[in-house]
Structures are given as C-alpha cells and as structure tokens.
Amino acid sequence: MRILIVSDAYPPEVGSGAHLMAELARELAARGNDVVVLTSWPAYKLDRSAAATEFSERMMEGRVRVLRVKTLPLHNSGFIVRGVAVLLAPFQFWRTLIRHEPAPFDGVIVYSPPLPLANIGIWAKKRGSRFLLNVQDIFPQNAIDLGILTNPLLIGVFRWIECHAYRSADVITAHSPMNRSLLVRAYPKIVNKAVVLHNWIDPSQFSVGGVQEDFRETLGLQGKFVAVYGGVIGPAQGLEVILDVAMRVRDIPDLVFLIVGDGTEKSRLEEIARARGLTNIMFRPFVARERYPSLLKSADIGFLTLSPKMKTPVVPGKILGYMAMALPVLAIVNEESDAHAIIADAKCGYSCSSDEVAAAETLVRRLYEQRRDLTELGQQGQSYARSHFDKKIIVDEFERLLAR
C-alpha cells in the first residue's frame, strides 16, 4: 500500500507522539509499504545536538520519505498565535504534499491533535484514500477543561471541525476503551467506525545496549532514590502536584524528583521550586531518544502527572515507556484517566487522583520504603507491556484497518 502519515511532531523532536509515528512509519515501510510522512519543521522539544542539525523539506530517512513544513509556531507560543497556526497548518501541509507527492495514497493516517490536520485526511479521501484518524487527545474538550479555550466563537469553530473530521473519517481509533466510549457518547453516529487501538512500544527501542550512560553520575545523583519524569511540561501535565509532594517529603534526604523536558510551564515551575527552597527537585532539558533508555535505567521509579482539570480518559504515552524499561510507575493523574486501570491490571505500580496530594505523598513514601523490592513491580509492567502493547501486534491492526 501507498500510505501517508500526518503528524505535527516527528523525530528528531522528542516526545511520545513523535516517536510513535516514527515507529509506525518504519514498521509499515519494513513490511513493504510505500510510506510518506508529512510533518512540521523540527523546532520544538529538541535536544542540543538535534537543534544544530540542518534539515531540508524532503528527506529520505531509511525507507521512509519525510516531508517537513515550515509553519507558524505550533508549540511554545501564546494561545492566539497557536490557534491561528493550527488553522493555517493544513493548507501549508497540503501545498507541500502536492508539490512533492502528487500521486494519490491508498491510506492516510492522521495523528490528532492538532485536530485541524484531519483536513489532510478529508482532502486525500476525495482522491480515493482511506482515512484513519488516530485520536490521542480529545480536542477541543481537553482545551476547554484546562481553561485554554474559552471564547464561545472559537469553541464553536473547533466543534465544527471536530464533527466534520469524525463524520469524514473511515476509521477513528482511540487509545483506550474509555476514550472510545467518550467519543461515541458525544457522537453516537461514529459507533461503527470507532475502535480501540492502543498505543504501542517497540521493545528494541528500550534496550540500553552495550554502552549505558550513567545519568546518576552525570547529574551527581549517586546514592539517591530517583523518581524520573520525561516529557512535555505544559498545562495538561499539571506538574504542580509534584512540587506539593516534594514539599511534604523533604524529610527523606536521598529522594530526588528528576524532571527532564521542556514546555510552556517549565520556567514557572522552576521559579516556584526556587521560591520554596525545594532542593529535591531537579529540572533538565530534553534528552535525545537514544539516550532516553539510559535515563530511565538510571532511575528507581518513573512518575507521570495530569492536571485534575482534565476530564478526558487520556493515557500518557510515557507510561508505556516506563513499563517497557521495567520501571515501577507512579501515576498522579485525573480520576477519569484509563491509566489507573492499566496500572492496576499490570500490577506495575500505584496511582491516585491528581487532586489528592496527601494520597500522592503516601504512595511516594510507600515506593521509597519498598525500594529494595521494586524489581517485581517493574518486571510485571514489562511483561504486561510486551503482551498487550507490542508494536507488531498494533501495526498488524493498522494494516488491517487501512486495507479493509
């Protein structure tokens, strides 16, 4: 099949969405499909080496052709600028696509958000493509819940885009059962084309290999109990809760919360940590994908947070990375998140609601007290991830859905 993958993020950008799409593209190409990726120009969530790299609009990366489009800022900008950027992006993407790849595609996979990129799938469908919409965050509802989107007119515009995208897609995939249920409740007519298709892991991408970078030594964390977070630091993540927890557990001298990433909230959180005199919080920039397994290997537990304002059942992709690396998981997430069910089913750690700071403190202390017995939790998570979220199983389903 000739397949187009549309995503606003793609390596060398660092992030779960970028690497999910890269793994999907490479696996589909390895199976003999002709794969083209249409994405934005690398400008966000880059490690230092990638930031210095020069890119061109069309590049061959292994067996995958990658088209990169320069747009207005899609991240790390004010909400008004970002709103205009995402509305213009489909037109800029389509113009680049037609210039370099004018032939129709058999199937198009669009990663959402940003939801307006679904227009690429709609336009490609008019040329005979089968359109699969991969819904990760339910927009605009998540932006409304977070207070990011408040203007009634803009809400109406994005609701119309959402309705049109769902009506036009041949298949809509949600990454958890509750996410599918939420979509179907809001749009009952999509019930027959909305399916659960879990996010995936590529076990080979979570192998440290022969040479392991010791982040404990690099960051001066020898002898510490390290709780690591790797990813975006934005409003949806609600990392303020970790600052509150850190205040409560200052009596544990060797406990450190290591936050690796970047985003619109990072500077503000750093300032709060300094103002509170929190020496058990450490912020560091993004690391390249190939260094990420070593980062996780250098930690004792992996934690993730979501804002309590979130009312959708989102499951952050980083949870699968923690499980793949046999790292016990601490999830402090909104009560609607399907992460609670996954962690309980996998028996790979603990979770609580992100508005329950006392409960989060209790779980941190429990994991610290169990620090010599965490191996079993990690191994249970790794086993569960390999049996439920293996890339090859999920890509089999992608191929089936595109070909049906």
79 C-beta neighbours (distance < 10 Å), count: 15
Mean pLDDT value across residues 238-261: 96
Q: What is the pLDDT of residues 169-224, one digit of tens each?
A: 999 999 988 999 989 998 999 999 999 999 998 877 776 665 578 899 999 999 99
β-sheet bridge partners, residue 349: 329
Q: Indicate if 181 and 213 belong to the same structural domain.
A: no
Q: Is the separation of the CB atoms in 15 and 22 below 8 Å?
A: no
Mean pLDDT value across residues 368-377: 92
In sequence order, which ranges of 220-356 are alpha helices (DSSP H)? 240-248, 266-276, 292-297, 318-324, 339-346
The structure tokens listed for 276 are 């509170």
The structure tokens listed for 77 are 């900008």
Query: CA quadruple 83, 87, 90, 95: dihedral positive or negative?
Result: negative
Q: Looking at residue 390, what DSSP letter applies?
A: B
Q: Indicate if 279 and 398 belong to the same structural domain.
A: no
The count of structural domains within the chain is: 2
Parallel, antiparallel or unpaired: strands 194-196 and 225-232:
unpaired
Q: Indicate if 399 and 373 belong to the same structural domain.
A: no
**Distances in whole angstroms, Cα of residue 125 to Cα of each of 25, 92, 130:** 20, 18, 6
Mean pLDDT value across residues 249-259: 96
Q: Indicate if 272 and 315 belong to the same structural domain.
A: yes
The CATH number for 307's domain is 3.40.50.2000
Helix, strand, coil abundance in the chain, percent, nearest 5: 45, 20, 35
Parallel, antiparallel or unpaired: strands 349-353 and 329-333:
parallel
Mean pLDDT value across residues 119-132: 96
In 3-state terms, what secondary structure has residue 209? coil
- pLDDT band at residue 266, thresholds of 50, 70 and 90? very high
Q: Indicate if 195 and 251 belong to the same structural domain.
A: no
Q: Indicate if 155 and 221 belong to the same structural domain.
A: no
Q: Indicate if 107 and 153 belong to the same structural domain.
A: yes
In 3-state terms, what secondary structure has residue 133? strand
In 3-state terms, what secondary structure has residue 70? coil
Mean pLDDT value across residues 239-251: 96
pTM summary value = 0.82
Q: Indicate if 188 and 209 belong to the same structural domain.
A: no
Q: Residue 326: is it exposed, middle or buried by C-beta count within 10 angstroms (0-12/13-18/19+)?
A: buried
Q: Indicate if 13 and 30 belong to the same structural domain.
A: yes
Helix 240-248 vs helix 357-369: crossing angle, to nearest 10: 60
Q: Indicate if 124 and 224 belong to the same structural domain.
A: no
Write down the pLDDT at residue 208. 65
Angle at 398 between CA 113 and CA 390, to 5 degrees: 95
Q: Indicate if 366 and 310 belong to the same structural domain.
A: yes
Expressed as residue numbers, the domain containing 255 is 204-387
Query: Among 51-60, 69-78, 135-144, which stretch is predicted with the lowest mean pLDDT?
Result: 69-78
Query: Among 152-156, 164-168, 340-344, 354-358, which stretch is predicted with the lowest mean pLDDT?
Result: 152-156
β-sheet bridge partners, residue 352: 332
- In the predicted structure, residue 404 carries a pLDDT above the cut 80: no
Write down the pLDDT at residue 101. 95
The structure tokens listed for 46 are 């880059």
Q: What is the pLDDT of residues 310-321, one digit of tens each?
A: 888 888 888 999
The structure tokens listed for 272 are 């709060």
Q: Indicate if 184 and 273 belong to the same structural domain.
A: no
Share the mean pLDDT of the chain: 90
- pLDDT band at residue 7, thresholds of 50, 70 and 90? very high
- In the predicted structure, residue 98 carries a pLDDT above the cut 90: yes
Report percent pLDDT > 70 for the chain.
Answer: 94
